[in-house]
Structure 1
Amino acid sequence: MAQPGCDSMCGDVEIPYPFGMNDPKCYAEEGFQIECRGKHNHKPYLKLINLEVTAIDVNTSTVEVKNPIFHRKCHPGGIDYSPSHPNVTIQGSANISLRGSPFVYSNKRNTFLAFGCNILGFLHSNRTTVAGCVSVCGRNESRRLRKLVTMGKKVRLGCHGKFCCVASLPSHLSEFNVTMEDIRNGSIAPGCNDYALITKQWKQESTWMLNEKGSQRKKNVNDYAIAVLEFEILDLTKIEATNAECRESNVTSSNMGKNSGWRCKCRVGFHGNPYIAGGCVVIRDRWYHPKGTPTKELMVGLLSSLGSIILLVGLRWLYETERKRIAKKSRESFFKKNGGLLLQKVVSSSEGSFDKFKLFSLKDLEKATNHFNPNRILGNGGQGTVYKGMLVDGKIVAVKKFKVDGKIEQFINEFVILSQIDHRNVVKLLGCCLETEIPLLVYEFIPNGTLFEYLHEQDEYLPMTWEMRLKIAIEVAGALFYLHSAASKPIYHRDIKSTNILLDEKYNAKVADFGTSKMIAIEDTHLTTLVKGTFGYLDPEYFHTSQFTDKSDVYSFGVVLVELLTGQKPVSFVAPGEAQNLASYFILCMEENRVFDIIDKRIMWEGRREHINAVAKLAKRCLDLKGIERPSMKEVTMELYGIWEMQRNSSA
């Protein structure tokens, strides 16, 4: 509410008393005078301190204003710190002052922030340092950040002391300026993209645009931040509020023994503007007496509402009890249907491959995965979704949830095969849950993602070296050799690709995803089946004959080997025609004796040409269109190990 006959709006902002515009009778004191500026898009400004107002709340005695951001500017004469807000006039040094006004910066609702690399941000008031913080970043991080900034990209930062730091404000802050220093030697920090500000309720997910040069910032970059000012009435004779209480305060004075003004609020049972006559009105005449005390009708209404709430809570309890009973019955039914009683007996009596196998309850896995929260998803595949989970004992696991419209045969197939495998380069099955329609599988958690991610989205801090690529190739080849030859029955994986090769904490390879794998009799040489696989890795001979052999896995491994050599994806629709299929293009380059044109430049720097060429020749043999001409996984493993030994000897 404004005073009668006074304007109550400027643009989109309400102007309640004690604030006002134009006529002195419209505002309580000079400090509360508002100027409505602009011809078309009107904006309110506190005239005394020249800050734009965005909101006024008389109930909390606060004002939100556009507070300038201090950018460090570089020029031939040196470095200065100045606010970028176009409507702030600074006398002498870069200093914001509220002195002489009824306002101070709220220390409860604001924070001090400093952005930059390896800087100390200081907040000064009355020639004294009143707050400060440290923002650090490594040399490579600083270079990477500067590169993103130069490209004009937004950088999403938290404020944890890295690139950005935060500090609390002191009480009774009525003036301030900022400085920044290099943490290495106390000198002015190098570069021109550091800045500091006071702002309200900093959110760590906020996005800030950092710029290479403060003096050449883009037009759409924030020139201000929203800050909160607290106010008090200095002259209580200007206030004629009714049904309100005004108490002494010391908002603008740091002398706790001396009151500097007053703050008002409506009495209990009333709401509105406590600074104006008639501003506090009864919340509802029906529920409150004129003195603000509840009526009989209100008490009856409250009791009736309480009875309804008790009834609803009782119904909710009955519903939850019945829902849990049905869910428990359903889990027990699925457990029996999926052979849980028999498997439970086998696990408890087995001394072989099931000795460390565990039957998990659905409740345990729901708790581990936060009820299969989408934020816990590690990956999605054709058969289902894999979630990250943490068991009660703190162990991290991966839980595979098969698609509801899938077949239980997929679960049985993967379960039977993995229960027969014990190899350090094959992902380990820890247990399963049979209390769902399609059972769940629980594996060891492999923390460093897939080979595809690591190879094609390389981290500059931990690049994919030639030695690491050769080591991964040997480990995957060894696992496939074990599946083909050393397992109790030969196992064909049928979907070897870089996304099905996981990397553990030491970047050892782990072959995963056995949903389409097949276990065959020792005397069989192939299996005839519907063609399944991934485009780019699929054996052409298998595609034409529908006969899958151990050499089909060799072809898929050959594609992975070429991925490791070239750093390119198996299929690329943006590449020119013949280069879209990596395997075909690699064979063409080998035949034209220009294979080193597509080898990853990094391994050309690190490896010997004869060793790289030996691996390339092996990959070419694996990709032979005739399966009978391809080497076995045993031969592949031995040749790769021989190249590894030659490299070690040459390095020595």
Structure 2
Amino acid sequence: MAFGILVVLLIVLVTTTAPAAQPLSSNCNSSCGDLTFVPYPFGIGEDCYFNPKFLITCNYSTKPPKAFLMESNLNVKSISLDGEMVIEHFVSRDCYNNKAERVERRMPRLWLQNYTASSTSNKFVGIGCDTRALVEGYRGEDRYATGCISSCDSLNVFNESCSGVGCCQISIPRGLQNFTIKLTSYYNHSGILDDSNPCNYAFVVKENEFNFSLESFKALENKTIEMLPMVLNWAIGNEDQVESCEAAKKRVDYACKGRYSDCVEVKDGSAGYHCRCLTGFQGNPYILDGCQDIDECKNNLTLCKPGNCLNLPGNWTCKCPKRYNNTGTGCTLNNAGYQSEKLVIFCIALEELKRATNNYDEDRVLGEGGFGKVYKGILPNNEAVAIKKSKIGDETQTAQFINEIIMLLQINHRNVVKLLGCCLETEVPLLVYKFISNGTLFHHIHNTRRTSVLAWKLRLKIATETAQALAYLHSATSTPIIHRDVKSTNILLDDNYVANVSDFGASRLIPIDKNQLTTMVQGTLGYLDPEYFHSSQLTEKSDVYSFGVVLAELLTIEQNCLFDVVDGDIVDEENVVELKQVANLAKRCLSVKGTKDPP
């Protein structure tokens, strides 16, 4: 079938991405003593790291060797690709004798030019019976200070909680780069009933890595515990390069060039960005071939039963036996009982929909067209939905709504918008869909303000998912379905930029014993197949042509100058070949004669 070939062609393109940023040397160590995993962009040795701030220095003079951040004395214990690093940091001490005289004071400073202390994974802890603990630091040029107080008359009142009696704890401010831990005593320990509590202690520590007790206090006192783990946040970029993903993608040193990787905005106060593997992939997004396909078929042997599961890059599909429907995520027995069962769950009360939309308030309108309006609704369980309401008195629109219900009853695919319910107890039918939060593909590729620029890999992914949905409609449903209105405004994107094909009001079933259907021409000018327009003969080639227009839009190409006008935001020296391949594919789809479409 046509879209089966299209899916394969697009998948091949996705899997031939240009080389990514990666270590220049092939002799890079991946561990150092207790630091058992050093993932790129970090590296040990010359030409093994992304830039100098990611250098890990391995000191082989100790046994076992110790890993340090750059050329500092910060001992690195672990590094994760989700933007966190665990280091060891000194405990602050402030000690007195029985004459209330200070005899020892240690208040270490931490300077983090390119890193921040995690406010979500750390706690600031103060310990002692006469303790005022402060952490003072900076975020950029802004100064911060916070602290807590711990007091008691004797160690005898110590318990296992850190609630102010012998121990206090608080969260630290977000985005701290440089800080000092300070300790003071109100009475220089002169009010303590015994001499067994000569010191105050304070430290920033990874959550759940220090449990307060009399035993842990004794370990601090006899210096068995002098250092504790602390979590730092890291990101690509530095304090002089505070930039969005959109800006980062235009830099020559953009780090997310790995196959199936994309940029993620940092929200923890660090300057810069992270890379992550696309949905359906896992691994290191900073290196070539670092994001590997997750084999859903291998990981879940029950998928598609009683059919066979076929793994695809970032996805999977089912090959179902006869009399079973391919739902996109499994095989379901095709009989009237199954469809009747689905009809039961689609009944939603009119009053509930009125409440969900605040009586169809204009502020809730998501979009409108010749069919009517789509409203955002909030159901009693706080689930967001999209509610489609046709125009009053328009019998044609009512018929299209009923047609859409009939079509969607046969469809269950991850890349087709999900129908949750309907309401027919009013003069105008209402359809309720899963709410897709990130707008239409049209908005993202024709956004004149350029506030959202889709990366090339995301565009390929969206095209592939759209082709997979259309291939499913044409060949995997019990009766083939021709969408008839494939266009970028009918392709919705969720927060992960997963494509959801929508609007089946114009769709038609083609009996399995026929390969075409004579029908009144319907569709959107600009997307409408000229051959279908002139002959009224509806075939799956009609959707192929419309999909070709969408491909051209993803390239931001005018149809009359296919290779001349390409979106400058997605062109670089690494994807020129792919752009030409997709442009050629779009050109084949847009052939006026269906025989020239992809087979």
Do they fold alike, i.e. is TM over 0.5? no
- Tell me the TM-score normalized by structure 2: 0.43
Larger Rg: 1
Greater percentage in helix: 1
